Structure formats: C-alpha cells, structure tokens
Amino acid sequence: KVEGKMLNLNRACMLRRAYKSMQNAQSLCFLPMRTLIHIEPEDKVEGLSENFMPDKSQVLFPEYFKMREKVYGVHRDFIIPKIESSMDSFAKKIRDVQLRQRYLPPEIVTFRNLRKRTAADTMEECIKNKEIPVVILKRDEWPENEHFVGPKGIASTVLSSDAGYCRTYFLDTGGEPIRVISQMIVTHEWMKTPMRANFHRFIIGRPNPINIPVFPINESSCLAYMAGANLNFIVRTLDLWTYTDVYPPRIELDCSQLTIKESIKIGDVEKMLPDGVFLHKKYANRLHQAVISLEQTKIYKARIMMQDKKTEEFEEKKREIELGTVFKKAKKSKVNKKKAKA
C-alpha cells in the first residue's frame, strides 16, 4: 500500500521495483493470479542497511540470483562436462566412418569375474545379484553347452559397443581365456532387459559364424530413386562364415546404378566378400533373391509418362523438320533441272 492505495504490477515491474527500492520493501507477495507489492513508510522499516539483500529462500525471483551468479570465461573443467554429449556424438560419427572403411578396433575386450552356473543360480537370483547367464554354445570337440554366470555389464557392452554384434571377446573363466563371438542377446519379452548372452567359440582357421548387416549407400544419386521410385530393403543381414579374424563389420551396397529392372542380388554380394569369408550354405538356392530393389510408384509412373510424351513430341518435330528440309531440297533440285534444260 502506498498512501492507502494498492499497486497491481506485472512480474517485470515487480522485480524492478523490489530491488531498486529495497529500503522501503517490507514483504513480497507472489500470488497465482496477480502480483502485489506492499510498500510501507520509511519510519516503519528503520534498521535496514543500504546493502540489504534477502536470502534465496526469502526471495521469489530465482532468475535474479542466476543473473548475479553467472560467470564468464569459465574454465574448461566446467565446460567439458556440459558439451560431453555433443562430443560423444561427434566421436560416434568418426567411428561410423571407420566402420564404413572396413575397420574393426584391434583391441579385444575381456569379460572377467565369470563362474560356473549352479542350480542355485536361478533367474531370480541372477536379477537380484545383477548378474546374467552366459552360454558358450557347443562346437566340434565341445559336445555340450557350457553355462556360466557373469556381471550384467556383459550384455550392455555387446549391445552398446561399435560393431558389438561381430566383434570377438575373451571370457575369463578362471583358466585360459576363451575367445568368443556374440551369437544372441536374449531379452525379456516386454521389459526388453537382457536375460541371457549366447556366444560362439571363435577359432582362427576354422569356419566361424558371423552375422553382418547390409547397408545401402549412394541411393540419393540413383536416377530412378530421384524420379520417385521406392527403395525396397529386403535382406538386412547376412549369415557368413569366416576363417580369419579380418572381416568387414558391415556390407555396403552401392545403389547409384540401380534401376527398376535390375536389382542387387545375394549372388552379387557373394562376389564382394573378401578372402576367407563365405556365404552360409542356406543361401545356396537363394542366390537370385534380391537384397535391394526399386519399386515403381505413382509419381515415378507419371514422370516416366511425361518424359515419354516429351520425347514423342520432340521426335515428331524432328521428323517434320527433316521432311521440310527434304521437300525444300527436292524443289531446289527441280528448279535447277529446269534451268539446266533451258
């Protein structure tokens, strides 16, 4: 109240008046529907110093303190954590480029603290202890599956690492480390949490199963795709056998020369595989199956019809011009013959 009158101010005006005339401010009231400032005469607020500043708990304007505490020229130790997410995304792009260049990280991750699974290691106990069952599938001289229990981070490492689906790992089970490759991470049906990790033994010189994804590239430079055709991605992964530990983490198919009538088939991909990598025998009768193809759309058909119509019109005009030139030449020849006879 000022001389018996009540002021109704907005937020900005209230902030300005409150901190410019702090000597006369006795209390600040912030209501949901309206903002009120109660100003009392100076004789009732004696004892307040000129540098009076209330605590943060007593002030209803946290923006003021944010403005006062803002620091310029912050040290990198405070800046780096704030931009860490963008730095990680940039680093991921670089790693994707490395994968596109058929590069796999040379270091091999080792999973430790694995132990044999017993009857007491039920699924409930594993979840309670933040562990996950690990299974090494049978192969050749190992006629039975080997069951272990390890930390839950095994599944997250395989799922989150670059090319984790086809990288090799070491399992430290107490003896000599076993080199393995991921076969499947079994997840819960609706919670999508990892429940079991299956691995294959990886032995150099023997056929090792790997599952490699297929990626189309340069589709934006395909003429049919630019004309409105749809790109059908039919086969997204391929099962391969590798005899070496040098193999591509992904298969890239160049779609720049793709047409409606011609598609990229599994047999074409087989010829692209490097030495020591072969197709699985289940593709023996599917070599002519398309991996990536183009499908006609209404827009594509309309553009092709317009193009055909324009070509027909151009051919007609060209024919007319040619016929006109022929008639002119014939007339000239007749005139020349008459002149010669005369």
**pLDDT score, position 190:** 84
pLDDT (tens digit per residue) in 199-258: 999 999 999 999 998 988 888 888 888 888 888 889 999 999 999 888 888 888 888 888
Cβ proximity of 320 and 264 under 8 Å = no
Stretch 276-294: mean pLDDT? 91
Strands in 277-279's sheet, in edge-to-edge order, are: 251-254, 208-217, 237-242, 277-279
pLDDT at 21 over 70: no
Among 158, 214, 163, which Cα is nearest to 185's?
A: 158
Q: Which residue has the higher pLDDT, 268 or 322?
A: 268
What is the spatial distance between Cα 198 and Cα 136, in angstroms, rounded to a whole number? 6
pTM equals 0.60
**pLDDT score, position 148:** 94
**pLDDT score, position 210:** 92
User: At 279, which amino acid appears?
Assistant: L
Question: Considering the chain, what percentage of its residues have pLDDT values greater than 70?
Answer: 69
pLDDT (tens digit per residue) in 153-170: 999 889 887 788 888 999
Confidence of residue 328 (pLDDT cuts 50, 70, 90): confident
Residue with tokens 């990886």: 202
| Domain boundaries of the chain, sorted by first residue | 7-69, 109-203, 209-296
Q: Which residue has the higher pLDDT, 81 or 10?
A: 81
**pLDDT score, position 77:** 62
Superfamily of domain 109-203: Ribosomal Protein L25; Chain P (2.40.240.10)
pLDDT (tens digit per residue) in 89-130: 766 666 666 566 566 767 888 999 899 999 999 999 998 999
Task: Determine the 3-state secondary structure of 134 from DSSP.
Answer: strand
**pLDDT score, position 30:** 40
pLDDT (tens digit per residue) in 24-82: 444 444 434 343 444 444 444 444 444 545 555 555 555 555 555 555 565 556 666 66
Confidence of residue 193 (pLDDT cuts 50, 70, 90): confident
**pLDDT score, position 110:** 92
Cβ proximity of 256 and 318 under 8 Å = no
By DSSP bridging, strand 146-151 and strand 168-171 are unpaired
Cβ proximity of 234 and 263 under 8 Å = no
**pLDDT score, position 201:** 93
Residues 6 or more apart in contact with residue 339 via CB below 8 angstroms? none
pLDDT at 340 over 80: no
By DSSP bridging, strand 237-242 and strand 208-217 are antiparallel
Which residues are registered as beta bridge partners of 82?
none
Residues 6 or more apart in contact with residue 211 via CB below 8 angstroms? 165, 166, 237, 238, 239, 240
**pLDDT score, position 322:** 82
Superfamily of domain 209-296: Ribosomal protein L25, C-terminal domain (2.170.120.20)
Among 236, 118, 121, 104, which Cα is nearest to 169's?
A: 104
What is the spatial distance between Cα 323 and Cα 317, in angstroms, rounded to a whole number? 10
Residues 6 or more apart in contact with residue 149 via CB below 8 angstroms? 114, 115, 116, 117, 121, 126, 131, 132, 133, 134
Strands in 290-295's sheet, in edge-to-edge order, are: 230-233, 290-295, 264-265
